[in-house]
Each structure stands twice: as C-alpha cells, then as structure tokens.
Structure 1
Amino acid sequence: MRRRLFLQSGSSAAVALALQACGGGGGGDPKLAADLAPAAEPTPGPATQAVAAPAAETTAAPAPTKGYPFGSRLERYKFGIQPNHVSQEQMDHTIKSLYDRWKRENVVDVPTVPGGKAVKFGNSTSYLTVSEGMGMGMVLVVLMEGHDPQAREVFDGLLTTVRARPAYSIPDQRARPWLMDWRLVRDGSSTDAAGGGWNAMDGDQDIAMALLMADRQWGSDGKWNYLQEGINTIHAMKYWNMKEDGTTKGLPRSHVSRTSDYMIGHFRAYKKATGDALWDRAVDRSYELINLMQTRFAPGTGLMPDFIIHTDTASPIPSPGGYGDFVDTEGYYYANAQRNPWRYGTDYVCSGDERWKNVLNKLMAFIKQDTGGDPARVSAGYHLNGYAMSRAYSPKGMIGPLLCGAMVDPAHQEFLNRLWTWNTENFTTLYYDSELQLIPLIVASGNWWRP
C-alpha cells in the first residue's frame, strides 16, 4: 500500500495532514505483475549514458529551436486569456521573486547520491522527496532558465537523483530503469518501506515532459541526452502505466484511473516526440472519461473525482473509496483532482481543443457561483454534487490550479485577476501547495511553452 502525507497549508493554523497516495497512477496489480517474466534488479546509481528505446517506436521530431529564456514568450498563446490588471513586466518580476523563494526553501542536496539534488517533501522527518515533487521541480527549473543562472546545474542534479533511484519492483525490465521509485527516505535511499520500488505516473509524466523541454532549452549533446532520456521514460510509461485504448491505469488494480494523470498537453508532447498514436488515444480517452463524470455524476457542478474505477467496463464510476489512495475521499474533487484545471487549462491555451474549454467552463461556473468570486472561499474539496468539504482555511493547492481553469474563457476575466492577486499575495513555500501555486502562475503569466 503506497501512501503519502499530503500537506495542506492553512491560513494561520499550522498544517493539516491527510493521507493520500502519490502513486495512484502506477502500473498494474502487483499480483498481476507476478505473471510477467521476472527480471534482475537494476544496479543502483545514476545513469550516465542514455539507453536507446526500441528503434521501431523512436521517431523523435527535432525541436524547432534551442533556447527559451524566461520572459521571452517566443510563442504567444493562441487561445484563452491572461490576467489584464497587471503588466507583463510586473508578472515576470513577481514570478522571479516567488521562484527564488521556492528554490531557496525546497531544493536540497541528496546525501546518498553524488551530485544529486531533490525537491524536499515539506517538513517531513521521514522522507526526503517524492517523484511528483521531482517532476514538478524539473519543470520549474527548465522554465526559469534565463533568470536562474544555475538552472541547468540544478536540473542535472535532479535528473541524477531520478535515474539513481529507479522503480526497482517493476517486473517489466523495459520500463523499470526509466521510472522513478516514488518516495525516498531522508538520506535519499530507496527502501521497501518508503516507495517500495514502484512508480507514480504523475511524477514520471512531469519528468518526461521536463526532459523534452530541456532538449529544447539546452540541446541534448551535453552530460545528458535529454531527448533520449525523455523518450525512454515515455516508452516506459506506455509499457507500465497505459492501456492500448489510451486509459491510464494504476495500483492496486488496473481498472483504476486517476483523473490528475490526464495530462493532456504532456500526451501531445509525447506524441510529437515519439510518433506513437497511443498518446492521441490517451487525449481522447481522457476526455471521454471526464465528460462522462461531469455529465452523469456532476451535471450541475462540472466537478470530477480523484479516481475513476471500472474503466475496463462500459460503465466507469467515481471511486467509492479504497481503490487508489485507500481513502474514503477518492470519489470527491479533492487532493488529486484539484490539479486538473492546471493541466487542462495549460493545454487549452496552446492547443485550442474546445473539449477542454467546455470541461473547464462547467467547473469554473460552479466555483465562481459557490465562492461568489472570492478565491479565499474555495473549499478544501467538494463532493460531486457541490457540497463543500471544509472552509476552515483557504486551500492554496486547490486555489492555485484554478488560475489555468479561468484562462479558457473571457467570461472568467475578473475571477482570473482575483486569482492572480490572491495567489501572489498568499504564496507558500511549503511543498505541494507551493508548486500548485507557482506553476499555474507561470502559465498565467504567459511563460509556458511546449517542447
């Protein structure tokens, strides 16, 4: 059973803990995994050379240009809106300041990995990092090249740790070396009692995306072949985390799918990098499942659950609990699904896919109605019928991703402006909430780009 301490930062109260899983988007049932041919465990330590993925599947397209310094906005968004009550220069200045605070508080050296760095797991005394944090950290650092003179050095340090700690329990040897053990103990080691050698799809997805972005930012002819490393991880997720119809699957049962793993923009980047049509199917299947959740189970709210079960049947349903994170809240819009507006909105401003605009318009209409347009009144979570779980504090990790949700339509302009102001004035450096504020703020400022 893989669990994480999900940290929610409150207002003046300290920190509320809730048990949630970081690895809901893992591979298959461990019992089913036993049916696969066993393979020798990988040798610990960072990979120093890229290993080619299967030649038949590697059809990488070259990046259009190299170098994308922060603030350059070389490719303006073609769709959606941005905050219009502050200037581009003001937004960039704010992002730089918040990033510096985030980096200072969260990026640390790894005692057991020479040259390795990690994004620390909050104030935990038991664990150093999780793959989810590593992936988001790599995305942040590659985006901030041009502001942070150490960006590439830090990125390489994070990647060194990622490759030094493979998901050693995965029996599929095509996938194992290229997916990360989802949680490490305080000295940066892998143990059966921490991550258990299994992967978390959300972490590996951001790692893969960051590697593709690193290839565009710096090229792949240095210490690391970023492009090939990214392709290796993409193929590994295909083998272990995906079904042929494009459905994501996860531990402990293969019919369980986590909605925050539907990283639509990432899927499009994977398709561009590999030429594999699976990732087109992943975009379509993700929409099919989200549209079903909204239409059948949340017609008045547009909310979506953390987990969907029975995805191998004609009638998927929100999880009643106990399937993904092993908690009762799996069927609510909560600790996982709160990330969805960030993922879907980020894709929309680049792709213009109207399906995701429609998904987010339903959700944002409800959120604005529920809060009266005041970000501080957003609940810590919601039942799919709109019942608020708690307003005891303002949940920064829930409020941050709404920035990207509001970007899809001019109807949300006033709310988007309020979200920008609230998040910048109430920014935290505490893990998870911090990244769920900072990355959406970067997107809202116009500084997101695709590999």
Structure 2
Amino acid sequence: MKLNKYTWIFVGLIAAVYLGTLIWVRLTNPVYLQKNMYQTWENSYVMHPKSDQSFVNTSKNNDHQNPVALSESQGYGMLITVRAAQKGWANQKDFDRFVNYWLAHRDYVGDQRQTETYLMSWRQYYNRHHQWVNDINSATDGDVYIAMALALAAKQWPKDATYYRSLAKNLSDDILTYEYNPQTGALTVGDWVTRDSKYWQLMRTSDVMPDIFMTLAKLTGDSRWRTVNNTMLDRLADLSRLHHTGLVPDFAWITRDAAKPVKPNAISTKYDGDYSANACRVPMMLATSNNPKARKVLKKMLRFFSHQQYITAGYSLRGKRLVKYQSASFSAPIFFAVSHHRGEGYDNLFDSQKYIFSKPLTHKNYYDATLTVMAALEGLN
C-alpha cells in the first residue's frame, strides 16, 4: 500500500516524538536518580533530636531507637546537604541544622578538659540509662569534612558567607592546633593523639584530601595547610610505590620523609595494614585534585582495579582479595574517581561500578548508603 505525504508526516512526527522522549529520558534519568537517592538517604538516615538540629544515624542496621552520631557522618551529612542545595533539593535551614548539632557537640581539651574547641566530639549515643552521651576526643576526618562543607556553604549562601567562613576558620585553627604534628608535617588521627602518644606518627590514608586542603589554605591564608597537603601526598606516594598495585593501607606509620603500613590490629582491626574500610575512600579523596602527585597515585590504583574481574570489599596491598563479596562503600569511591577521569583508560570501571545504582539505596548500612549518594551527586553528571 502506498502511503500519502500526510501519512509520512504523521510517521515522522511519531518518530521525532519517540526519539525526543528517548533523549529526554537519557538526559534526565541521572537527575532523577540523584534526587531520589538524596531524598531516600535524607529520609532514612537523618535524624532531628531537636527542631533546629540534625545528625546522620550510623547505628547498626540504622536503628532509630538506639541511634549513633559520628563526627565523620556529620561531615558527610553537611557535604551532601550543601551539594543537594546546589541542585535545589535542600535549603539553608537543612544545612544549618547540621551546623547547630556540630556546635552543640564540640570537644574539650586540656588536663581537666576545660578548653572548648571547634572540633567535634567523635561520637554520641544512648547509654544503658538511655542518656545521650557525648564521647570525648575528636576524629580528624570528620572535622576536615565539616570545614570543607562550611567553605562550600559560604559560596552557596553568600548573604551568610561571613558567618560560615568564620566558623570554617575557627575549626581550621583548631585542627592545626590539636590535630597536627609539626614534626611530620601531617595531620594526626584526632586530638587525643599528643606528642607522648604512641600514635603521634600515625597517618590514616583517607585523611589525605588535597582538594580540601588547598581550599582551606586559600580560605584561611594559613600556609600550614600547604605543608599538610605536600607532606601527606608525599607519604601517600611512598606507600603507593611499595607494590605494583598502588594500593595503600588504612593506616601507616610516617616520618618526615618515609611511610610504611602498620601491622594487623595495630589500631582497630586485622585489616589495619590492608586496603580496607578506611583506605577505600582514598580514590574519592584524590579524584578532584589536579596535583600531579595525587593524580599519579590515583591512576596507579585505578589501573589495578580496571584489570579486576570484579571489585571486592578489601585487598591486601599485593592485590589479594580479602573477601569474596562486593560492597558499595568500596565501589562508590572508585566510580566517583573514574567519573572525574573519563577517557583516561578506566571507563570500564565507570560501567562496571554503576551496579551500585541498579538497586534501591540500602536502608540498613549508613556507610554504603552515604558514599553511594556522594558518588551519585558528583559522578552522575
């Protein structure tokens, strides 16, 4: 049957609409996924102990009857919220609730713990008497995340930029006063590590955050942040050179000019000297830096991962799998890193690690969910 010109026009219009729909879905799906993941995370993990305060629940299986707050998760919560605000899915009040909770749970130092700092106490939880306990001591990674979130907030809400920058500077000063080792030029793992501590020369590899360090250097004008950046990248590079894999351990002992992995159970687990639950964040921490040393360390790691049939939740530094299962908290940082380095030879990882978005965000694992949301917000663009 011969079709007349009107039929062809109609067919053409249908085809154009269909093609347009496919293009629209392709372009908007990442945005829908980002928004859905953020909102699912916020509804599942963010708790409000007071109307003007928020924290991220890190308890096992996300138990809302016995929640646990960490300074690490507070920093993540603030970073995620300001990123969501940039996309129009969160507002300044959402962010300020996290700020208020942090300010209400600052750590004290001194012989009698008489001096209040801007560092956050590392953990809060209900004790057996159902009292909300504020544990002493700080954790450096959480404090650095919070400082970076405040720097981003100053750009996001310029009317209150002075307030956020002031808080960031105060926090920065305390990080460099109480969480910095001037002998090694690196950050310690918390304010509990003093000169007479056996952990004085301990470095957590996931605390190497060159992009954040340089942001704080510019914001504060304090040259020590440049020292921290150069020193910690040098030590990370030392660790990267030890094995053909380029993998780095959760923790390392460092001096002014060298680094070596710690032994098992030196700090917390038998995997302390392996690429495990802390080091898995390293690709994410290095991803946005243009520093040649950071890029070299990252590319060596990505090269190793790109030759793996599938990526599991932990490796020895020589590349032996520690477990057989996969984990989003290991895959999300790799996806995040590769998303910032497309076309550099690791795009197979971009495709393979997208599995973390193929199923609903977990409601039972704070770490997996949080790192996945961070990867979605900055990697699915």
Q: TM-score category by the smaller chain?
A: 0.7 to 0.9
CA distance in 2, matches of 1:378, 1:305: 16
Structure 1 residues 116-127: aligned runs within 5 Å = 116-122=53-59, 123-124=62-63, 126-127=66-67
| 2:378 is the alignment partner of 1:378 | no
Instruction: Please list the CA deviations of residues 260-310 of structure 1 after superposition, one character each: whole Å capped at 9, or x if unmatched.
Output: 1111111011001011111111121122111111112x2x1110000011x
Q: Please tell me the root mean square deviation across aligned C-alpha atoms, in Å.
A: 2.4
Q: Of 252, 261, 264, which residue of structure 2 is paired with 1:318?
A: 261
Aligned residue in 1 for 2:120:
180
Tell me how far 1:158 sits from its aligned partner: 1.1
Tell me how far 1:337 sits from its aligned partner: 0.3
Q: Of 319, 323, 326, which residue of structure 2 is paired with 1:390?
A: 323
Q: 1:413 to 1:149 in 2, by over 3 A?
A: closer
SS in 1 for 2:274: coil
Q: Of 158, 177, 184, which residue of structure 2 is paired with 1:219?
A: 158
Aligned residue in 1 for 2:347:
413
**Stretch moving more, 206-215 or 436-445:** 436-445
CA distance in 2, matches of 1:273, 1:177: 19
Q: Of 281, 291, 302, which residue of structure 1 is paired with 2:227?
A: 281
Amino acid corresponding to residue 341 of structure 2 in structure 1: V
Amino acid corresponding to residue 379 of structure 1 in structure 2: T
Higher helix share: 2
Q: What is the TM-score when the length of structure 2 is the normalising length?
A: 0.82
CA distance in 2, matches of 1:321, 1:242: 25
Tell me which of the two structures has the higher relative contact order, counting C-alpha pairs closer than 8 angstroms and 6 or more residues apart. 1
Q: Which runs of 5+ in 1 are unaligned?
A: 1-85, 372-376, 447-451
Amino acid corresponding to residue 431 of structure 1 in structure 2: Y
Q: What is the TM-score when the length of structure 1 is the normalising length?
A: 0.70
Q: Which runs of 5+ in 2 are unaligned?
A: 1-24
Amino acid corresponding to residue 424 of structure 1 in structure 2: F
Structure 1 residues 96-175: aligned runs within 5 Å = 96-110=35-49, 113=50, 115-122=52-59, 123-124=62-63, 126-145=66-85, 147-148=87-88, 150-169=90-109
- Does the aligned pair in 2 maintain the 1:165–1:189 contact within 8 Å? no
Task: Report the number of matched residues.
Answer: 339
| 2:285 is the alignment partner of 1:343 | yes
Tell me how far 1:160 sits from its aligned partner: 0.9
Instruction: Please list the CA deviations of residues 318-372 of structure 1 after superposition, one character each: whole Å capped at 9, or x if unmatched.
Output: 0103443x22211000000000001101x23xxx22222211111111112122x
Percent identity among equivalent residues?
A: 23
CA distance in 2, matches of 1:92, 1:165: 35
| 2:246 is the alignment partner of 1:302 | yes
- Does the aligned pair in 1 maintain the 2:248–2:279 contact within 8 Å? yes
Tell me how far 1:95 sits from its aligned partner: 0.5
CA distance in 1, matches of 2:111, 2:341: 41
Aligned residue in 2 for 1:330:
272
| 2:375 is the alignment partner of 1:440 | yes
Amino acid corresponding to residue 380 of structure 1 in structure 2: A
Structure having the higher Rg? 2
Amino acid corresponding to residue 282 of structure 2 in structure 1: N
Amino acid corresponding to residue 238 of structure 1 in structure 2: L
CA distance in 1, matches of 2:330, 2:281: 7
Instruction: Please list the CA deviations of residues 143-183 of structure 1 after superposition, one character each: whole Å capped at 9, or x if unmatched.
Output: 11155565211211111111101112456989842011111
- Does the aligned pair in 1 maintain the 2:154–2:164 contact within 8 Å? yes
Q: 1:385 to 1:98 in 2, by over 3 A?
A: same
Amino acid corresponding to residue 385 of structure 1 in structure 2: R
CA distance in 2, matches of 1:402, 1:231: 31
- Does the aligned pair in 2 maintain the 1:303–1:333 contact within 8 Å? yes
Aligned residue in 1 for 2:14:
none
Tell me how far 1:189 sits from its aligned partner: 3.0
